């Protein structure tokens, strides 16, 4: 984990990944990156239909929604205009200082004007020190809760001998940990059902040690609502495939027995490579703004239950990020998924800095050190969404090189 301030982090990050960046730049220039080439590169029109691929209904015509946030007001809104929403995190007592830092930034950049409540949950009771330290950071309401055993356990259908062997053999980040697997299972299937979230319709997930680089001068919850978005994200990457060897096949089994669940204009193509295999693309769920009716739907619940019964949260190490992302890409329409590319954000060790942020006067990040937007998964998302929403558009979704691989994720574990 990086210990220095943002500048040191940037420098280490930059030098460590210079070779990968140079390789990416070279590859990008070789293939070229104008829009037709992007399409050709991703073979969008030539995806294979091998045996693990399900049938996709033909796309119907879509309307392009307004992507412009509502008029900016720096006045504190009336509490009656606030959405039923909260900033939510599963955290540990030991996260106190990292969480205070994240909250300070959310407050300064956004929430001091909106006062959305915070909800924090933990698998053990929060200490008084933690609660005081967190409440000191905001004038908004803060609620603290614990989990029930059901949502934080190794289920009885998991074979203990097999599971212990898996943990011993695992050679991927957090592979030896029980708690990380329970955390991923909880965030996949239980957080949205926690009793403290009963009265909210939207959540914005927060983690310790994240940073917000830009003023957020509109209400993202209202923006989601007004545009009919169900899932909002900010960073997309490829996953460590060793953590999810059977997630895709398990998903395909599920979808094949529930074909009606596949959205008419889903982004399923975003998930697959030219061979029809899962390409690992997923939204980073440490930042996600979600209309919780999606996770609370009987469809999502059925998907989670199916995954859970298969045992992959424990026999492998399925993350909540690929689970949420695959569900969003399959069960939502493309119009319901929004890329918050205007929100400057950092989660160790990835920077997402909006384009032209250095001229806006509202950001403190350097976009030249932020290359996640040029990554395979984000460019692919934009290309496919545009193809679905606006097939006749000649607007370029991406200029310049495309970066492949997952250098930023690896950096944390080297």
In the complex, which residues of this chain contact ligand GTP (CB under 6 A)? 89-92, 95, 122-123, 179-180, 183, 207-208, 286, 348, 412
- Any contact of residue 207 with Mg ion (CB under 5 A)? yes
Alpha carbons 184 and 314: distance in angstroms, whole number:
10
Measuring CA to CA, how many Å separate 183 from each of 1, 149, 345?
19, 13, 22
Q: Which residues pair with 90 in a beta bridge?
A: 121
Packing angle of the helix pair 6-16, 18-31 (nearest 10 deg) = 60
Binding span for Mg ion by CB under 5 A among 1-9, 43-51, 280-288, 302-310? 280-288
- Any contact of residue 95 with Mg ion (CB under 5 A)? no
Q: How far is the CB of 207 from Mg ion (least distance, A)?
A: 5
Closer to Mg ion at the Cβ: 183 or 388? 183
# of chain residues touching Mg ion (CB under 5 A): 2
Q: Which of 64, 389, 71 is nearest to 223 (CA)?
A: 71
Alpha carbons 87 and 121: distance in angstroms, whole number:
11
Annotated catalytic residue: which of 288, 316, 367, 395? 288
Binding partner at 235 among ligand GTP, Mg ion, none, C-beta below 5 to 8 Å by kind: none
Closer to Mg ion at the Cβ: 282 or 380? 282
Q: How far is the CB of 185 from ligand GTP (least distance, A)?
A: 11
Binding span for Mg ion by CB under 5 A among 101-109, 168-176, 180-188, 202-210? 202-210
Q: How far is the CB of 285 from ligand GTP (least distance, A)?
A: 9
Instruction: Please compute, for residue 142, the number of CA atoms within 13 A of its CA located in the half-sphere on the CB side.
Output: 19
Closer to Mg ion at the Cβ: 107 or 207? 207
Alpha carbons 191 and 290: distance in angstroms, whole number:
12
Q: Residue 174: which residues within 8 A CB-CB, separation 6 or more?
A: 180, 181, 317
Q: Residue 40: which residues within 8 A CB-CB, separation 6 or more?
A: none
Binding span for Mg ion by CB under 5 A among 33-41, 278-286, 387-395, 400-408? 278-286
Q: How far is the CB of 170 from ligand GTP (least distance, A)?
A: 15
Q: How far is the CB of 18 from ligand GTP (least distance, A)?
A: 22
**Beta strands 281-283; 236-238: pairing state:** antiparallel
- Any contact of residue 320 with Mg ion (CB under 5 A)? no
Closer to Mg ion at the Cβ: 215 or 320? 320
Please confirm, yes or no, whether 65 is among the known catalytic residues. Answer: no
Closer to ligand GTP at the Cβ: 28 or 208? 208
Closer to ligand GTP at the Cβ: 287 or 381? 287
Are the C-beta atoms of residues 173 and 413 closer than 8 Å to each other? yes
Closer to ligand GTP at the Cβ: 208 or 354? 208
Alpha carbons 261 and 270: distance in angstroms, whole number:
17
Q: Which residue is nearest to ligand GTP (CB)?
A: 179
Alpha carbons 410 and 414: distance in angstroms, whole number:
6
Are the C-beta atoms of residues 111 and 229 closer than 8 Å to each other? no
Alpha carbons 301 and 294: distance in angstroms, whole number:
9
Q: How far is the CB of 13 from ligand GTP (least distance, A)?
A: 14
DSSP class of 195? G
Q: Which residue is nearest to Mg ion (CB)?
A: 207
Are the C-beta atoms of residues 210 and 286 closer than 8 Å to each other? yes
Q: Residue 167: which residues within 8 A CB-CB, separation 6 or more?
A: 175, 176, 177, 178
Q: How far is the CB of 381 from Mg ion (least distance, A)?
A: 21
Q: How far is the CB of 209 from ligand GTP (least distance, A)?
A: 7
248's tokens: 């895709």
Are the C-beta atoms of residues 333 and 265 closer than 8 Å to each other? yes
Closer to Mg ion at the Cβ: 207 or 269? 207
Binding partner at 367 among Mg ion, ligand GTP, none, C-beta below 5 to 8 Å by kind: none
Q: Which of 110, 73, 344 is nearest to 355 (CA)?
A: 344
Binding partner at 175 among Mg ion, ligand GTP, none, C-beta below 5 to 8 Å by kind: none
String of contacts with Mg ion for each residue 286-305, x by CB under 5 A: x-------------------
Binding partner at 183 among ligand GTP, Mg ion, none, C-beta below 5 to 8 Å by kind: ligand GTP
Q: Which residues pair with 214 in a beta bridge?
A: 363
Q: Which residues bind Mg ion (CB under 5 A)?
A: 207, 286
Residues serving a catalytic function are 288
């Amino acid at each position: 984990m990086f210990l220095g301030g943002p500048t040191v982090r940037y420098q280490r990050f930059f030098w460590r990944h210079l070779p990968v960046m140079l390789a990416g730049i070279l590859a990008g220039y070789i293939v070229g990156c104008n829009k037709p080439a992007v399409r050709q590169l991703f073979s969008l029109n030539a995806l294979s239909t091998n045996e693990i691929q399900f049938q996709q209904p033909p796309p119907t015509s879509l309307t392009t929604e307004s992507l412009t946030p509502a008029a900016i007001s720096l006045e504190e809104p009336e509490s009656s205009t606030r959405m039923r929403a909260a900033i939510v995190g599963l955290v540990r007592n030991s996260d106190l200082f990292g969480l205070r830092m994240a909250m300070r930034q959310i407050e300064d950049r956004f929430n001091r004007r909106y006062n959305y409540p915070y909800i924090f949950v933990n698998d053990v009771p929060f200490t008084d020190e933690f609660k005081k330290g967190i409440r000191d950071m905001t004038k908004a309401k803060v609620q603290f809760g614990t989990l029930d055993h059901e949502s934080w356990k190794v289920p009885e259908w998991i074979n203990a001998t097999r599971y212990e062997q898996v943990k011993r053999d695992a050679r991927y980040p957090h592979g030896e940990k029980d708690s990380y697997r329970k955390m991923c299972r909880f965030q996949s299937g239980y957080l949205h059902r926690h009793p403290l979230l009963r009265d909210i319709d939207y959540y914005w997930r927060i983690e310790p040690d994240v940073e917000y680089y830009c003023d957020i001068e509109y209400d993202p919850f209202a923006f989601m609502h007004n545009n009919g978005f169900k899932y909002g994200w900010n960073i997309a990457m490829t996953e460590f495939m060793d953590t999810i060897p059977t997630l895709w096949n398990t998903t395909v089994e599920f979808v094949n027995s529930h074909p009606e669940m596949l959205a008419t204009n889903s982004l399923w193509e975003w998930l697959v490579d030219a061979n029809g295999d899962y390409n690992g693309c997923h939204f980073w769920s440490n930042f996600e703004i979600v209309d919780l009716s999606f996770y609370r739907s009987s469809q999502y619940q059925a998907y989670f239950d199916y995954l859970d019964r298969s045992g992959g949260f424990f026999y492998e190490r399925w993350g909540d990020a690929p689970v949420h992302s695959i569900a969003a890409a399959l069960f939502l329409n493309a119009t319901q998924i929004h890329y918050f590319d205007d929100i400057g954000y950092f989660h160790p060790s990835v920077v997402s800095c909006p384009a032209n942020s250095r001229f806006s006067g509202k950001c403190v990040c350097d976009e030249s050190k932020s290359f996640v937007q040029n990554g395979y998964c984000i460019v692919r998302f934009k290309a496919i969404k545009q193809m679905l929403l606006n097939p006749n558009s000649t607007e370029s979704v991406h200029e310049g090189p495309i970066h492949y691989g997952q250098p930023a994720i690896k950096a944390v574990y080297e």
